[in-house]
Amino acid sequence: MQWETVIGLEVHVQLATRSKIFSGASTAFGAEPNTQACAVDLGLPGVLPVLNEQAVAMAVQFGLAIHAEIPEVSVFDRKNYFYPDLPKGYQTSQMYHPIVGPGEVEITLEDGSTRTIRVHHAHLEEDAGKSLHESFSDGMGHAMTGIDLNRAGTPLLEIVSEPDMRSAKEAAAYLKAIHSIVTYLGISDGNMAEGSMRCDVNVSVRPRGQETFGTRAEIKNVNSFRFVERAIEFEVERQIELIEDGGEVVQETRLYDPERDETRSMRTKEEANDYRYFPCPDLLPVVLDGAYVDHLRETLPELPADKRARFQDGLGLSAYDAGVLSASREMAEYFEAVKDACGDAKQAANWVQGELSGALNREGLAIGDSPVSARQLGELITRVMDDTINGKAAKQVFQALWNGQGESADAVIEAKGLKQVTDTAAIEAMIDQVIADSPAQVAQYRDAEPDKRGKMIGYFVGQVMKASRGTANPQQVNALLKEKLDALC
Amino acid sequence: MHDKTLTELAAGLAAGEFTSRELTEHLLARIERLDGTLNSFITVTAEQALAAADAADAARARGEAGALTGVPVAIKDLFCTEGVLTTAGSRMLADFVSPYDATVVERLKAAGTVSLGKLNLDEFAMGSSNENSAFGAVKNPWDSRAVPGGSSGGSAAAVAAGLAPAAMGTDTGGSIRQPAAFCGITGLKPTYGRVSRWGIIAYASSLDQAGPMARSAADCALLMNAIAGHDHRDSTSVARGVPDYTEELAAPLAGLKIGLPREYFGDGLAPEVEAAVREAVKVYESLGATVREVSLPHTHYAIPAYYVIAPAEASSNLSRYDGVRFGHRCKNPSDLIDLYKRSRAEGFGEEVKRRILIGTHTLSEGFFDAYYKKAQQVRRLIRQDFLDAFEEVDVLMGPASPTPAFDLGANKDPVAMYLQDIYTIAVNLAGIPGISVPAGFAGGRPVGLQILGTHFAEPRLLNVAHQFQQATDWHLRRPELAEETA
Amino acid sequence: MALEHADVLRAAHLARLGLTDDEAAHYQADLGRILEMVDRLQALDTEGVAPLAHPLDTTQRLRADEVTESDQRDRFQRSAPAVEQGLYLVPRVVE
């Protein structure tokens, strides 16, 4: 049987506010346990929440970025359950009237094709604290868990997709698209390792052609692009095998274990939850007037999808290049600076994605940490385009700049004597010398069928380039060699 | 000194007739002597009170005294007080020392008042008799067999007994007005949002409101000047100018339109209470007011709606008492569930558990629409009743409670107890202000006249109450305490 | 709506309230009568009436995104039943 995978994602994005969603405590990462948990975060008796305006603004910006409806009124509800990292015994969230209504996100697949994934809604809520399962004990030998509530109350935007994705790759592409939108907007640092972005994945399978959805499993708290893909791949295979063996998928929560590369059921001795949502009586309805939303709309930066379209249609880049170069705001800004410096988008794209990305990947650096600045790279490309240096020399210049051996491309070219030789007389002299030193190769060339000669010329080119220490203009070398050798035939 | 009103004490302090220290020492001695039987205080903060009194006297000597500088007050033990035990009348918080002050407490301190201590109450403010306190019942100063009312029973009893000239209470379904009525004092529940809830241990957040309990309407006005106003820490506190609540006290009542809700004079109203209230209304007529009957047609749905909304909010508000960060924790929990279940079972009393269970049940899946949503719809109808009535009249009047204070232990049935709050509960659902003023006696126990106004009509209510107190002397009557006469 | 014994146990579990069987039976009777009283609401036609969550028709005020709180861990943890290395301790949570 042919199976179709159906995937929906709930992405939790930590918003980059300075203070918490309902209190004035800092959201900075990595503080000593419970030093950033104030009276409100701890849920001390008598405390009350007051909503952070920046969290609201960021949520609305996200909504505008995905062309979502922004309802005039949104309401906070309480989701009631007991857990040690949830100080008040309820999480303040938005169940019935979220701040962001239906919208859509465009994703780009590896082949450059795009698809639209619908977003059901996005809502604001508070994060919980953290449980630390270290070796604490209660003095009677019982193992204890330590609770750190620094994270409690950090604003989260939960973005809930429709079940529109049909493969692990699409899910990963969707997650990347969300990542790039929130980082473009600057509403989150998008740091998945620190938990700034995490997602719950709903996966089901159904026979191809069937309309109704299969029973889904929810994989909780996946925190990297790669894990999302692998968790889904494992889960899809598990579900298909299960059904084909005559079993049934049960609706449950599962965890992905990256070390074993598998998902497994969370122990469900707990009965189904009943969260008893009701409107939080400590908070009033949030009303956003049109002028406020319009103001935020006007101040939105250019977003990934728009940038991608401009790179493709305006700059003439391929769909693939446009996608890669617009994926992050830093990458796009770097690329555009290189392009502005050299005046050629295609060359800039090739260099950024080729030499630069290769070097960055080798050293595990982000684009923001590149030792070669966009201005330096742009100048280097200019020198290739105006024939000051050839491609081979350009790589040497790049390496020198990467290693900090020169302030600019020109300085490196000068210092290393890499300036291209384009003087015809000088090149001819080198060619004559090579021909004179290679009688056997010249004889072979002469005896070969004319259509085989093209390949044989490479040897002579190599010798001439070697003689010029790489500085001869390869096109000129080629043309002059062909002329001289053919004259000998 | 202990028989004087707050207004008189403030004047005495200003005139140098006595110092705050003398006054405070006098009251502390009275508490020491009399409260063993009354049980109105949970914590007496004698040392801090004397220090605050000395500071107030010093401020006065420097010429820096305000209207309330050096005036003693006492605080319902539902308000968080920094460095002082804050119990909510519960075993759950029997050892909880608050690390911060409630806004009301902060403002009272800033006004120079001297806090004598923390007053007994029904656990987490849930009750109408003060019998639900983990720290024992409070006795009614007028009759030691009677309850003082609740939940601000300690506040009402302490003021009535002359242990404190004024007290802070909170009112979620009548918890200021009913005990004020039962103890023969004046108690104002302000408009929802008028006084900050920051630092008041929450019972039902959309209904809770703090207010003053004192010997006269003028006293309440002085206290409102200190505590009312917007607080940026409470999202539900209203950003709206605060009037001088004493300004309108003396305004004449000629032309005042009084409405008597038909539904407040029906079955279950004790004849002596009705007689006292109708007598009070006559006094108003003699002051130039006109009286007409009005209707609040949804009155009988108020108690059912309240017993959905308040327990639902309470069940959620009280989830934070889980034995992890503060409050009671059971001994040797075997696992997390055991920690939760035993800590909460041991920490909460019976009425609190009853309301948590009701609230949890009505919010559960499948019941939400039938209970919670329905109750909120009814809440709107109830509020509309009042708004309609205030189109026709300036204030509404009726009894604060259908009976005078009942005997301790007399009301064993929770539902019967709930139904006692028939005249007070709708007011909280609608969020309007209400005041109870002493208006006579029934069987030797005080009767309270309740006066209601539209949202933010506190100045008018205080004026109407004050004029009654200029014409009558019910508010000046004092109980004879057995210990004093002995 | 009648209230079953199981409803009481379920609510007690959701609310993490330990109850003995006797207590549960006692509460079942009380809660049953409270719900009976509450059921009076069902007699009222509320079709088309918007639920009222707050008595005043006001909207949420927003606070500026500023850090106003400083570390008060020691003060806050003075009331804590079990603390070690700044962490609140609970019986081991199994994930």
CATH number of the domain enclosing B438? 3.90.1300.10
Closest to A75 in 3D by CA, of C50, B38, B438, B470: C50
* pLDDT at residue B483 tops 80: no
* Average pLDDT value for residue range B133-158: 98
CA quadruple A215, A218, A224, A227: dihedral positive or negative? negative
Dig out the tokens for B190 from the structure.
Answer: 């302000």
The domain limits of chain C are 5-41
Residue B151 annotated in active site: yes
Interface test with B, best of C5, C72, C79 (most B CBs within 10 A): C79
pLDDT one-digit tens code per residue, B198-210: 999 999 999 999 9
pLDDT one-digit tens code per residue, B367-399: 999 999 999 999 999 999 999 999 999 999 999
Find the domain containing B478 and state its range.
Answer: 6-258+392-485
Contacting B residues, span 100-139, partner chain C, CB-CB under 8 Å: none
CATH entry, A424-488, from 1.10.10.410, 2.30.30.100, 1.10.10.10, 3.40.640.10: 1.10.10.410
* pLDDT at residue B344 tops 90: yes
Q: How far apart are the C-alpha atoms of A336 and A398, rounded to whole Å?
A: 18
Q: How many CA atoms lie within 13 A of A145 on its CB side?
A: 22
DSSP conformation class of B200: B
Whether B385 is covered by a domain: the verdict is no
DSSP conformation class of B422: T
pLDDT, tens digit only, all 95 positions of chain C: 678 999 999 999 999 999 999 999 999 999 999 999 999 999 999 999 999 999 998 999 999 999 999 999 999 999 999 999 999 999 987 65
Q: Do B371 and C81 touch (CB under 8 A)?
A: no
Size of the B and C interface in Cβ pairs below 8 Å: 178
Contact (Cβ atoms closer than 8 angstroms) between residue A120 and residue A162: yes
The per-residue pLDDT for A108 is 85
Average pLDDT, chain B: 97
Amino acid at A235: E
Q: Which residues of B touch A146 (CB under 8 A)?
A: none
* pLDDT at residue B58 tops 70: yes
Helices A450-467 & A439-447, crossing angle to 10 degrees? 160
Whether B55 is covered by a domain: the verdict is yes
DSSP conformation class of B426: H
Please identify which of the residues B40, B76, B90, B133 carries the catalytic annotation.
Answer: B76
* pLDDT at residue B62 tops 60: yes
Q: How far apart are the C-alpha atoms of A355 and B459, rounded to whole Å?
A: 78
Please identify which of the residues B133, B152, B155, B175 carries the catalytic annotation.
Answer: B175
Interface test with A, best of C60, C78, C84 (most A CBs within 10 A): C60
Q: How far apart are the C-alpha atoms of A61 and A68, rounded to whole Å?
A: 10
The per-residue pLDDT for B412 is 86
Size of the A and B interface in Cβ pairs below 8 Å: 101
pLDDT, tens digit only, all 489 positions of chain A: 899 999 999 999 999 999 999 999 999 998 999 999 999 999 999 999 999 999 999 999 999 999 999 999 999 999 999 999 999 999 999 999 999 999 999 998 888 788 999 999 999 999 999 999 877 777 777 789 999 999 999 999 999 999 999 999 999 999 999 999 999 999 999 999 889 999 999 999 999 999 999 999 999 989 899 999 999 999 999 999 999 999 999 998 999 998 888 898 886 545 568 999 999 999 999 999 999 999 999 999 999 889 999 999 999 999 889 988 998 888 999 999 999 999 999 999 999 999 999 999 999 999 989 999 999 999 999 999 998 888 888 999 999 999 999 899 999 998 888 888 888 888 888 999 999 898 888 888 888 887 888 788 888 988 888 888 888 888 888 888 888 888 887
pTM recorded for the entire structure = 0.91
The per-residue pLDDT for A268 is 57
Q: What percent of chain B has pLDDT over 70?
A: 99
Which is it for strands C62-63 and B72-76: parallel, antiparallel or unpaired? unpaired
Which residue in this structure is represented by tokens 């009436």?
A: C49
Give the distance from residue A68's alpha carbon to the nearest chain C alpha carbon, in angstroms.
Answer: 22
The per-residue pLDDT for A269 is 47
ipTM at complex level: 0.97
Interface test with A, best of B313, B337, B348 (most A CBs within 10 A): B313
Q: Mention every residue, 6+ apart, whose C-beta is less than 8 A from residue A155.
A: A14, A15, A17, A20, A21, A27, A52, A55, A58, A124, A125, A126, A127
pLDDT one-digit tens code per residue, B259-280: 999 999 988 999 999 999 999 9
The per-residue pLDDT for B258 is 98
Q: Do C89 and A279 touch (CB under 8 A)?
A: no
Which residue in this structure is represented by tokens 């719809």?
A: B377
Contact (Cβ atoms closer than 8 angstroms) between residue A180 and residue A333: no
Verify cis geometry, omega within 30 degrees of 0, for the bond prior to B151.
Answer: yes
Q: How far apart are the C-alpha atoms of B429 and B431, rounded to whole Å?
A: 6
Q: Do A46 and B320 touch (CB under 8 A)?
A: no
Q: How many structural domains comprise chain B?
A: 1
Contacting B residues, span 76-95, partner chain A, CB-CB under 8 Å: 79-80, 86, 88, 93
Q: How far apart are the C-alpha atoms of A224 and A217, rounded to whole Å?
A: 19
Q: How far apart are the C-alpha atoms of B424 and B434, rounded to whole Å?
A: 8
The per-residue pLDDT for A142 is 79
Q: Look at domain C5-41 and name its CATH class.
A: mainly alpha
Contact (Cβ atoms closer than 8 angstroms) between residue A234 and residue A227: no
Q: Which residues of C touch B378 (CB under 8 A)?
A: 41, 44, 46, 49
The per-residue pLDDT for B112 is 98
Contact (Cβ atoms closer than 8 angstroms) between residue A46 and residue B202: yes
Task: Judge residue A396's burial from the number of C-beta atoms within 10 Å of its C-beta, 0-12 exposed, 13-18 middle, 19 or more buried.
Answer: middle
3-state secondary structure of B429: helix
